[in-house]
Structures are given as C-alpha cells and as structure tokens.
Structure 1
Amino acid sequence: MEHLDLQVIKQGLQWLESGRQIWLCTVLTTFGSAPRGPGSMLVAVPSGENCGSLSGGCIEDDFLDRLKLGQFAAHNQIVRYGDGGLQPTMALPCGGVLDVLVERFEPERSSIDHFRSLETALVGRDRLSRTINLKSGSRTTGPHGPTGRSVSRSGEDVTIILGPVRRLIVAGLSPVAEFCAEFALALGYEVIICDPHPERLIKASALLPNAKLIEVLPAVFIAQGGCHAATAVVALTHDPRLDDLTLMESVRTDAFYIGAMGSSKTSLKRMDRLERIAGLTTQDMQRISAPIGLHLGSKTPAEIAISVMADILRVGNGIDRAAL
C-alpha cells in the first residue's frame, strides 16, 4: 500500500493533468491534542472529491463544505481550526487547534511540474523542501538534508519538507529490537528487519505483521543499497559478528542515524575494533550512537526501545541533545 502522502500527490497530479483546478491543504502547526501532525496533507476539488487526511474527519467535512461555497479563492492562505479559528468558531472534538496552509493550483504546466517534483521526492531517496510565499504566491523547491522538522515558517515564507517515508533497519532480532520495530511502526516508519536466522524471523512475523522481514545479513542488505537519507539503522543484538559488520557498512551510507546497543565499556571496545580492523575514521565513528539511545534509566527491553526511538526522533527532528 502506498504511503498516504504519495497517494495525495499522485491524485493531485492526476487532476491537474486532466485540466482540473485543485486545492492542497497541509497541516502547519498543532496545539493541544490533534489526530495528525504537521506535514499531513489533503488534496481536493470543488466537487468534494478528495484524498488524504488532516484530522479525524471533522476538519475535512468543514473544509469541503467551505470549498464548495467558494471560500478559498486565494492562492495561498493559512486558516485555523479550533479556538479562535474560522467563524463560526469550530471547536474540535479533541480540543486541539490546527493551522492549515491552503493552496490553490491551476491546471497549468508550472503546477504539474511542481507536483511531479514532489512525487519524485516521495518515491526516491532524497528529501525535498518546498517554500511557499504567502504574499507573492510563489513556490520554489530545492534539496534538503536528512534531518529537520517537516514544517517551518519565516515571515511570509512557509517551508515544507517532503521525502521518502522514514525507514528503520533493524539489524538482527532481540527483545529490544522487537519493541523498537513495534514502536517505529506506530510512528509511521517503514520497518525492515534483517536477520540471517530463519527461525527468528518466523517467530517475529507473528508479532510484527506490518514489518518487512528479510533473511539476510544486515550488512549485506545495507551494502546493496538498503539505506537512504531518511534511514535509521539500529544494531541491538550484542553479537559483534552482526553488529560490527552492520556499523561498518552503515557509515558508508547517507543514513541519518546509526546506533548500537551496549554498555559504555562494550561500546569503547567496539569502537576500538572498528578503528583497528575496519579502518573507520574519527568522523565515521562520530556518526555512531553508542551506547545507543537517550539516558532515561531504562532497564527492560521496552524501556530501552523507548530510549532508542526517542533518540532517533530527536536526531530526525534536528534537536541537539543539549537542548533536551
């Protein structure tokens, strides 16, 4: 099944190519409880046909009703749902507040080219930034690094980051690895578990039906192009034969996060091995988070997995550890 963002962009492109005017909505900010986060998208036409989601349904219905009445004629505008928002003020069932960017696209070459560039980013390996000027109506796109928040605003410019769905490569199965995979799936990550032991994969398939399980050495999968810039790699087995090879291959990729489980003492020994045997440089080793995760006093496999995923989120969102 295609990721929802890709479905939205493909549908919008199809409508534009068929000569239809479309509206693209993007959640910019949320306050309080909200069903979906910043970057969530919906595309619609005045007839009420739509694809995507901004909330649990209440916002979509209201937006489509207003669209049919011609209330979103401007090319680019930000509207607020919730307290202090569109009149009559619409209180959301969750009690939250959402700011939504509403863009109108005409069925012309510039719009089609813009949507094609967004489609390319979503099916490719690199992230793309699109900047919308609320005053002039201009839209520009450009490459973006592997980390950073999905939405930001500076004056009249709104910048939205799109790219491939974040991927978690789990190098070898263990109790901590299983919890990491489960949490990552809940966060919307594409989860790929690589383990050369078929009996472990059979057991995990029942626990993690939405993960992709591959009977292969993790290092082999990574060496064959398994990582892109939106990939996090975690080695959580305590098996040097699996973990060390995984780290050696991972530092040769654009993965935004690479981590290995182990105590401080174990991690120092591992780094020494990687320097001596694999010839990793200081810069290479600085890319490896070891010991992995945030220091939360975690003891159980589930607690350790939470600390790991929290650190991946921190790095992915561009938050410095000192800012926590």
Structure 2
Amino acid sequence: MDNIDLVVLRTAREWREAGWAVVLGTITRTWGSAPRPVGSLVALRADGVLAGSVSGGCIEDDLVEQLRAGSLNLQRPTPLRYGVGAEEARRFGLPCGGTLELMLEPLGPQSQLDELLARLARGERVRRELDLASGAVQLAPAQAGDTLSLDEQRLVSHHGPQWRLLIIGAGPISDYLARMAQALDYGVMICDPRPEHVGDFALDGVQLTRDMPDDVVMDFKADGASAIVALTHDPKLDDLALMEALRGQAFYVGAIGSRVNQAKRRARLSEHFGLTEAELDRMHGPVGLDIGARTPPEIALSILAEMTAVRYGKQA
C-alpha cells in the first residue's frame, strides 16, 4: 500500500516510460481553507489524464482544460494560482475564499524521478531541490523538521515518511499494521529477536531487526513524530520495549493484551522497572480503539485509528 503522493510519482514515471509528456504539480502555498496541504502532488498527462488531487475536482478540471488547450506546454517550472478573488474561490470550490498556488514542472531526465523513487523504496526521506530556471533537480537526505520552501530561484520539497512507527513483534497483526501505516505516511521498523517468528517475514520498505527490543527502542530515538507498539504477547520482550518507550518522547505507545493482562503489565513495569504512574498512564492498552476487532486486519485498523486520534489531539 502506498500514500497518495507516492502513487502520483510512480504513475508519472510509468507515463513517461510509455512516451507521454507529463507535468508534475506541487502545492507550494495555501491561504484560507485550501482543500489539500502544502507539498501535495498531482501529475498531468498530455492527453488530460490526472493522477492525484489538489482540490475537490474543480481545479483539476481547469488544469485539464488548460492542458488540452495547449497552455500547459511548459518549457520550465511555472507557478499557477487559484482563488485570489471571491468569484474565483466560488468557481474553483475553495471554501471561505481560500487560495492555492501550484508549481507546475515539466518532467524530463533532469527531474531525477527514477532516483527519487529508488530512494523512497528504501524507506529514505529525501530533500528535492528544483531549480526554477532550468528545471534541474538535486536530491539529498532530508533532515528532521524540514519543510517545503519556495523562493525566486528554487523549490525545495521533501518526500518519504513524515512519521515513524516501531512495531515489536513480527506476525499477522504486524504485517497488516505495517502495510496500513505505510499508506498513512509512516516509515516502519519491525523488531523481533525470535527466529521462529521472523522466518521469511519481509515487507517492501519495512526495516526488520532481530536485536533485543529495549536496545532497538533506545537506538530508535523516538520523538514527537514517533509511535511504538508492542505486539509479541511475550512479557520478556514487550516489557523491555515498553520500559524504554514510556520514558521517551513517542507521541503514542501501545501494547496488546486484555485488561487483566494490562493490569499485570502495569504492576510489573512499576515494581521491577520503577516506572511512575505518569509514565504508565502514557501506555495505550488494550491497544487500539474498541471497535469489536477480531481479525488481524481489524486489530491493525483499530490501532491505527487510535494512533491517528492521538496524533491529532482528538478524544479516542
């Protein structure tokens, strides 16, 4: 499973490989209640086919009209603005007089699309610098806290997972949780030192480690964009991971198990590892929203639903 913008980049590459001229649009600025966030992508094929989205459909319709009229036969990156006035805002479906600005970029060999996708397939975060005069692109590793920036010479955007998820335990739930999390823009790592559980477990773009969970959590260096979920059902592994995770900065720490098992876990973490009540209260367990989930994909869905609620500060 892929996030929307990764699908856009892959589709753009497929179209170019098939011989089509392709323009890539990046949202660079928004004012008011714009439909999609800065950095979102849309790809436009020469015959008017689109991949991705920047609005509810009105702007996409206008882009197709311009494309078919030949006005988007671009030779260099070109900005395009929608919704400056109230009439345009109504026409293009921008609520509350919102405004949206796109940078339209004709793709070519200088765009380094293949190299960008190769790095993203390895789970990397990538800084992409577009020279607005030539259309040439330079790629470099992205840094924490990087945001999109635009000036008269260049557009700097960032691609790859914005959030991180560490899963303790390899199994069916982990499989679904990792796949779904990737679709929500998480870079995913799975830790399980048990050979009988790891086996040939492998997912594209997911890092697998067999080191001990407490060491992995420490090396993970969780921050406010990180989540840690323990799924092994083995106290010797889950407790070690939770001991470190609950003392860290992760915005979400969850552990699988019944309410009875959660009470026992809290007691162990308090008595044997010295965790405080405040640290223990950071643990979400039983993990996930109570939606009656029974199967691995349903449980994974419930976990991601709770993670999303916590991430946006909503009452789960």
Same fold (TM over 0.5): yes
- Corresponding letter in the other structure for 1:302: P
Is residue 2:177 matched to residue 1:180?
Answer: yes
**C-alpha displacement of 1:212:** 1.1
Q: Go from structure 1 to structure 2 and tell me whether the alpha carbon gap of 1:209 and 1:200 turns closer, same or farther (over 3 Å shift).
A: farther
Is contact 2:190–2:207 with CA below 8 Å preserved after alignment?
A: yes
1:140 is matched with which residue?
A: none
Is contact 1:123–1:164 with CA below 8 Å preserved after alignment?
A: no
- C-alpha separation in 1, matches of 2:253 and 2:274: 17
Give the counterpart of 2:263 among 265, 268, 271.
Answer: 268
- Corresponding letter in the other structure for 2:142: V
CA RMSD of aligned residues (A): 4.6
For the residue of structure 1 that corresponds to 2:200, the secondary structure is helix
1:93 is matched with which residue?
A: none
- Corresponding letter in the other structure for 2:182: L
Q: Go from structure 1 to structure 2 and tell me whether the alpha carbon gap of 1:309 and 1:200 turns closer, same or farther (over 3 Å shift).
A: same
**C-alpha displacement of 1:43:** 10
- C-alpha separation in 2, matches of 1:78 and 1:217: 54
1:146 is matched with which residue?
A: none
2:27 is matched with which residue?
A: 25
1:171 is matched with which residue?
A: 168
2:91 is matched with which residue?
A: 85
For the residue of structure 2 that corresponds to 1:204, the secondary structure is coil
1:12-57: per-residue Cα shift (whole Å, max 9, x none)? xxxxxxxxxxx962486676xxxxx53443599xxx9xxxx85299
1:123 is matched with which residue?
A: 142
2:290 is matched with which residue?
A: 295
2:235 is matched with which residue?
A: 240
Matches within 5 A, 1:195-210: 195-205=192-202, 208-210=203-205
- C-alpha separation in 1, matches of 2:160 and 2:278: 26
Q: Go from structure 1 to structure 2 and tell me whether the alpha carbon gap of 1:195 and 1:247 turns closer, same or farther (over 3 Å shift).
A: same
Q: Go from structure 1 to structure 2 and tell me whether the alpha carbon gap of 1:303 and 1:279 turns closer, same or farther (over 3 Å shift).
A: same
2:100 is matched with which residue?
A: 101
- C-alpha separation in 2, matches of 1:129 and 1:280: 39
**C-alpha displacement of 1:85:** 3.3
- C-alpha separation in 2, matches of 1:67 and 1:265: 63
**C-alpha displacement of 1:253:** 2.1
2:187 is matched with which residue?
A: 190
Is contact 2:167–2:229 with CA below 8 Å preserved after alignment?
A: yes
Q: Which runs of 5+ in 1 are unaligned?
A: 9-22, 32-36, 90-98, 105-111, 113-118, 138-160
For the residue of structure 1 that corresponds to 2:298, the secondary structure is helix
Is contact 1:169–1:233 with CA below 8 Å preserved after alignment?
A: yes
**C-alpha displacement of 1:294:** 0.4
**Percent identity of equivalent pairs:** 34
Is contact 1:26–1:42 with CA below 8 Å preserved after alignment?
A: no
Is residue 2:15 matched to residue 1:55?
Answer: no
- C-alpha separation in 2, matches of 1:40 and 1:74: 14
- C-alpha separation in 2, matches of 1:40 and 1:54: 12
**C-alpha displacement of 1:316:** 1.5
1:48-86: per-residue Cα shift (whole Å, max 9, x none)? 9xxxx85299576668876779xxx99986579x99434
- C-alpha separation in 1, matches of 2:237 and 2:178: 18
**C-alpha displacement of 1:195:** 0.9
- C-alpha separation in 2, matches of 1:283 and 1:184: 27
For the residue of structure 1 that corresponds to 2:201, the secondary structure is helix
- C-alpha separation in 2, matches of 1:62 and 1:283: 58
1:289-316: per-residue Cα shift (whole Å, max 9, x none)? 0111001011122211110011111111
Q: Go from structure 1 to structure 2 and tell me whether the alpha carbon gap of 1:77 and 1:280 turns closer, same or farther (over 3 Å shift).
A: farther
Is contact 2:161–2:186 with CA below 8 Å preserved after alignment?
A: no
- C-alpha separation in 1, matches of 2:178 and 2:314: 22
Is contact 1:169–1:194 with CA below 8 Å preserved after alignment?
A: yes
- C-alpha separation in 2, matches of 1:30 and 1:296: 32
For the residue of structure 1 that corresponds to 2:91, the secondary structure is coil
**C-alpha displacement of 1:170:** 0.7
1:157-197: per-residue Cα shift (whole Å, max 9, x none)? xxxx9996211111111322222112112223111011112
- C-alpha separation in 1, matches of 2:180 and 2:223: 20
Q: Go from structure 1 to structure 2 and tell me whether the alpha carbon gap of 1:42 and 1:128 turns closer, same or farther (over 3 Å shift).
A: closer
